[in-house]
Copies of this chain bind each other. A is one copy, B any other.
Amino acid sequence: MTQRSEIGIGLMGMGVVGSGVARVLMQKSRHIAQQAGASVAIQGILVRNLSKPRAFEVPRHLLTSNAEDIIGNPAVDIVVEVMGGEEPALDYIFKSISLGKHVVTANKQVMAKHGPDILTLARKKGVQLLFEASVAGGIPIIGPLGKDLLANDITALRAIINGTTNYILTEMSLNHSDFSIALKEAQAHGYAEADPRNDVEGIDAAYKLAILSTLAFHTRVRASDVHCEGITSLGSKDFRYARELGYNIKLLAIARQEKKGLQVRVHPALVPQQVLLAKVDGVFNAIEIEGDLSGRVVFHGQGAGSLPTTSAVLGDILEIARNIASGISPTSSLLLREDIAIKPITELNTKYYMRLNVADMPGVLAQIARVLGDLKISIASVIQKETDEKVQAAEIVIMTHTSREASMQQAIQQLKSLDIVRNVGSVIRVEEWS
């Protein structure tokens, strides 16, 4: 490949991220050119609606509503896909690679579901596919995992990778809000969408965890492999009780290499207050990688937003542009070393926090303890939190020692069927840092 002095970008999507990318490519063109060793110019922008007014106005002649104008344009070296959603983004990415274009994408859904396939095609076609922006916005994590930390056997990965839910949980914790109030607050600030399910049910975090785990463990992890629970059933009381016990509650994405396979799960967890991840507040993200050599490394920053995501997209564009400018052509490779079994959640061993509403009468604890004991769940502490004498009800919080998830699920069913248990308020896993 020969050296080049001008590199063409085809931008697909002109939403929050696309506008940021277009703006920075134009406004910082001198800085970009210096870093790339060649000028980098937008050759076309794919939009749905040509006449829609935009936050950042680009020259009209660049806009097209026909993807072929981008993919088929010989002046386009790098296709930058920031439209989001599975289709038609996936189709465009495949076509671009097939035609020998390099691709930069911010699309977590596409990468989580089809990443290994796209990377294989890119390798075959001799082009680069980079996707730093698909996880945790402005925080460098795909790069460090695939390069700086590559000599490590990764043993565990624990992360807060959804800003919406972390904002909601922070609100619930600091302001003692209920979930529905905190969600409205997040929506008012533009941190949550009108339909928030993708975030609050943990689906967005599961996509990102699938991408990170695939890279970290060199095995194909699909979003559907991730055991996924959201934050909608947490009560504001749980935050108070957790704090009294020395914990915060966070939506954690966890992947861990165990003897018989890989644990991959997204769920709320009690996190010890002194641990760095417990201190990640608001819309911030943080990812902790544990390597056999590096020990624990934490990456913290803004996981979303126009400019932070643009920082990641531009970093990828610059990497490819530098290679084109200096005439070298590394290909994207994702080395999937082995098929590691995914362990079902029922095989998890962890500690649990449990909040129960029970009848306030003698012998109640004995009955509960018997259910747990019969299932080999050993109790670390029981605290009676509130008593309502009028209705003879009490609220108790139980912390268990390490127990098996399958047993805990059985226990919950059995506890629910006890007359003296009015309701199982919350059951939250406890994540410990040794």
Contacts and interface: CB of A to CB of B under 8 A. Distances in A.
A151 B315 contact: yes
A222 interface: no
Contacts of A315: 147-151
Interface stretch (A31-39, A85-93, A245-253): A31-39
Given A35-B150, A147-B315, A150-B318, 15 more contacts: A24-B151, A31-B153, A35-B151, A138-B291, A138-B293, A138-B295, A140-B297, A143-B143, A147-B318, A149-B315, A293-B307, A293-B310, A295-B301, A295-B302, A330-B330
Contact of A140 (B32, B144, B307, B328): B144
B300 A297 contact: yes
A294 interface: yes
Interface in A18-49: 20, 24, 28, 31-32, 34-35, 37
Interface in A327-368: 328-331, 333, 335, 337
Contact of A308 (B139, B295, B298): B295
B138 A143 contact: no
Interface in A143-171: 143-144, 147-153
B314 A151 contact: yes
Interface in A255-314: 276, 279, 291-302, 305, 307-308, 310-312, 314
Given A151-B314, A311-B152, A294 B302 contact: yes
B279 A307 contact: no
A123 to B, nearest CB: 11
A395 interface: no
Contact of A328 (B296, B302, B330): B330
Q: Which 4 A-B pairs have the closest CB atoms?
A: A151-B314, A140-B148, A293-B311, A297-B301
B148 A335 contact: no
A64 interface: no
Contacts of A323: 330
From A140, A279, A308, A335, residue with most partner B Cβ within 10 Å: A140
A386 interface: no
Contacts of A148: 132, 140, 143-144, 311-312, 315
Nearest to A280: B276
Nearest to A141: B148
Nearest to A139: B297
A117 interface: no
A432 interface: no
A326 interface: yes
A68 interface: no
A300 B291 CA distance: 14
A224 B281 CA distance: 38
Nearest to A309: B293
Nearest to A331: B326
Given A144-B140, A279-B276, A32 B151 contact: yes
From A147, A300, A323, residue with most partner B Cβ within 10 Å: A147
